[in-house]
Structure 1
Amino acid sequence: MTAKKSDIQRLIECCICCDYLTDVRETPCCHQLFCNTCIQSWLKKPTKNCPRCRSTTLTEQSLLKNVVVQRFVDNLQFPCPYALQGCSAEIARCDLLKHKRLCSYSPDKLANKHRLKLEESRNLLLRYKEGKTHITDNALFDLAKLFHTEHDYDNAKECLQMIKDQDNLQEIIILQAQIERDTNQYDKALELYTKAYSLSNSSSQRIELLTAKGYLLLKKAQYEQAKDVFTQAFDLLRSDDESPTKVELLNALGLIAKKCSDV
């Protein structure tokens, strides 16, 4: 008979805390497994019957260690707690706390990494302005994106102003628009998004730019203009489109309808 995954899960979980077993203790009556700290807390109650079968009075001496199950649980492989931040490691449970403390994807270490990267980028920009190094236009654009991501908007703007080659004019304008938007300069951002739209030949990018404009108009409480822009973006979708973009646009139009009805 093959054990199901759910059966194994129940075997390695404590019935009291419902977490994975730690320092396993087994009852002599029904052979149920508990964490040592959990069952010890239970035994401090006036009623010392088994938490599972209730048929036997337990004592600390009557509980059995289960080394086999503990070894099995300790060697279970778990994804790093910082998997969403980018860590792909899988670690034995017994090593999980150590890995968590040392993982380079922990919030503290990532924040320190970003801080060092930002300082390095600022120093590079300063050396370029002082004529001590050369930076290509592509590198300046990458610096501008990094500064924007790190909310250093003044340096981001400065990098964009230094770009001489305007071959990537549309990308530059879009980043400028995002910076103005994030610094609450909505009118400037709207002008830049409109300019970027006039340079766009891609339907998907036009939809993206119109959507960005629509949200800015929403922030300015210009609901009729926002409705027109979102509708324009919606009309650019294919008739069979079932993408999240379609859902987003429909939600935006629904929000505008609600805002207008509340006025």
Structure 2
Amino acid sequence: MSGSTQGIGFAIARALLDEGAEVVVNGRDEGRVRDAVARLRAVVPGGAVSAIAADVADAAQVERLLDELGDVDVLVNNAGLFEVAPFESITDADWRRYLDVNLMSGVRLARRLLGPMLARGRGRVLFVNSESGVDVPADMVHYGVSKAAALALANGLAKLTRGTGVTVNTILGGPTYSDGVARAVEGIAQAQGVPADALKGTLAAARTTSLVQRFLEPEEIARLAVYLASPLSSATNGAAVRADGGVLTTLL
């Protein structure tokens, strides 16, 4: 499970452990990976959790990670970068980094793991995506484009599973108060001299199409991930399932 040392990824790892799954945590930093495993073992005593540190934007590190894994029944592609940036300031290097993390990490992992799932006739591939992949934000164009590409990737991979017990699905998450978002809000609040909680509420209300009118919690995304990773979701394949709080206004 890529990008699972904090935020949504950590919440999904915990939720899967609660359901009795054996979880392999992944992150770039060895120390943070060890810390995530320790925290998971503390909150889910007896849970089968291990970890492999690797930067999923680096093809060589992904190959090493894959060589260390055994059979994988559920692949959760959660690693992702985001930032607010004016389009004209986004460099070619920035674009490559975003595409490497938000798109190519999923390509590299699925390329090795999907085939064995198809051979066994069972498995789940899950992409944790964003409503920004459908409604690309003007102040995060590189992020939105990379997420749109990942959405297209999942759609194409699902077509390879025809007639098998393997599914490929996407979660379209809404604005979520993950660790990264919390740090960004706290930084802005400090710079503006306002309480972080007040700014959090203001930013949530600014998404005028949101029906819940608040940030989502990582655990709310995790609940949908557990369903899509389970046998209960056997009729859901090639889908982009929303947990967006009603931010997206289209019917489909």
Answer whether TM exceeds 0.5 for this pair: no
Q: Give the TM-score range, shorter chain.
A: under 0.3
Higher relative contact order (CA 8 A, sep 6+): 2
TM-score (normalised: structure 1): 0.21
Kindly name which structure, 1 or 2, has the bigger radius of gyration based on alpha carbons.
1
